[in-house]
Structure 1
C-alpha cells in the first residue's frame, strides 16, 4: 500500500469517513463490545475512527510509515504496528475482532482469509468494509466515467460485493452476513478533485495522465455547476472463524 504514502495528508483530508451505524452493526453481530480489535491496513485512520467508537483496545497494522505517522497522531491510544499483515504476529489466542477497511484487496489473495481466521480468537469476528463510489446524478455518472475511460480504457472496477464473495468462497468463515449503508455526499470542485487524487488507479498512472485527468474532470465539474454528488455505498461483511 506504499502507493498512498505520498498522498497521506491529502488522503486524510479528502477521503470520506464511515457511518456511525457501522460500529453499532459490528458490536451487535459480535454480541457485545469485543475485548480487543486489530485493524489491517489502517491507513490514516478512516476506518479507525468508526472502530475506535466501539471502545475496545486497538492495534492498527499499516505498512506505510507516512500513513502510520498520520494515524499515530490522530489515535495516540492505539498501538500502531508499521508493517504488513503478513509480517504482523497476532497475540496468543487471537484477537476478538479483526477489521479491514478499503484494504482487503491489498492483502495476498491466496492467504488473506486463512491468515485472518488464524488471527482471530475462536469466538472472534471478522469485519471487512469499504466504500463504493457512484454518482447520484445519471448524467454526471456517465460523463465522469466516459472521461476516465478516455484517459485510461484499461481501468476496471472490481465487481460489487467482491470481498463478500471472497470471504464466503474461502470457506474460512461461517455465519457470514452483510450490512449496507448509503448516503448522498455533495462535493465541491476542489474536494472532488482532491478525492480523485487519492485513488490508487490515479496515483499509479504517469504524471502526464494525472494532470490530464484533473484538467478534464475539473472542466466537467464546472459544467455541472461546481458540485458533484456522490452516491456513496458502504458494504460491511461480517463472519466468524470456521472450526479448524
Structure 2
C-alpha cells in the first residue's frame, strides 16, 4: 500500500480517514493507482479529501492516507469493485475478518491464531478459520464442478473418437487391400504403405480438429463465466488440445496401418 497505512489506527472522534482501492468500477480505471493518476493528475492523492455521494450530500469529507491495489471482495472471478478502508474505531461493525500471513503451513497455525484472539477477548467467537487456498477453492467450486463435468464429457468424446477413427481406418484398409497388394507387388515398401495410411488417417483427424476448433471459437462466450486463470480464447490451450487430438488420431491409425504393411501381395491378389 502506498501512503501511511499506520494512520488507519486513528481513534473514534478523530477526523475520518480512508485508504482507497479503485473508487471507480469503470473499465478505464485499470487499477487504484490509475484512478489516483486520473483523478489527482501527477500529484500524490495522499492527504487529499474526497466525499462519497452527491454534491449536495451531507456525508463527511474523507482524508486519503493510502492507495492499495485492486480488490476482488465479493466475487473472485469478477472485476475489482470500488473499495474504501475506514479505521474500525471510526466505523464499528459487528463482524470482521482477520487475515494472518504465515511462514509455515497455515493449517498448523489455526489453533495458535484462535488462542491469540482468545487472549485478547475470551468472549469473542471465532469461526470459519481456514487457509486462503481453501477459501479460494470454495469460491471457485461452482466453476470447478462445471469444469469437472465438461472434462468427463471431453474424455468420453475422446474415447469415442479414438474408437471411431480406428474403425474407419480399419475399414478403409480392408477395402483397399487389393490396392495395397498391387503397390507391394510393384515394389512399394511396407514403410511406404505405413506412411500412406497414416497420412490419410491423420489428414481426416486434422480436418475434424480444424472444424471442431472453429465451432469452439463460436461458443467461447458461453464458457467465459466458468473459467478462471485462463481466457476462453487462450491460443496455447487450443494448440495443445489440437496437437493431442492429432496424436491420439495417429495412434488410432497406427494399428490398421501396421496391418496393411503385413499384407501378402500374392494372397491378396489371388483372393481378388
TM-score scaled by structure 1? 0.22
Task: Considering Cα pairs closer than 8 Å and 6+ residues apart, tell me whether 1 or 2 has the greater RCO.
Answer: 1
Normalised by the size of structure 2, how large is the TM-score?
0.21
- Larger gyration radius, structure 1 or structure 2: 2
Q: Write 1 or 2 for the structure with the bigger share of helix.
A: 2
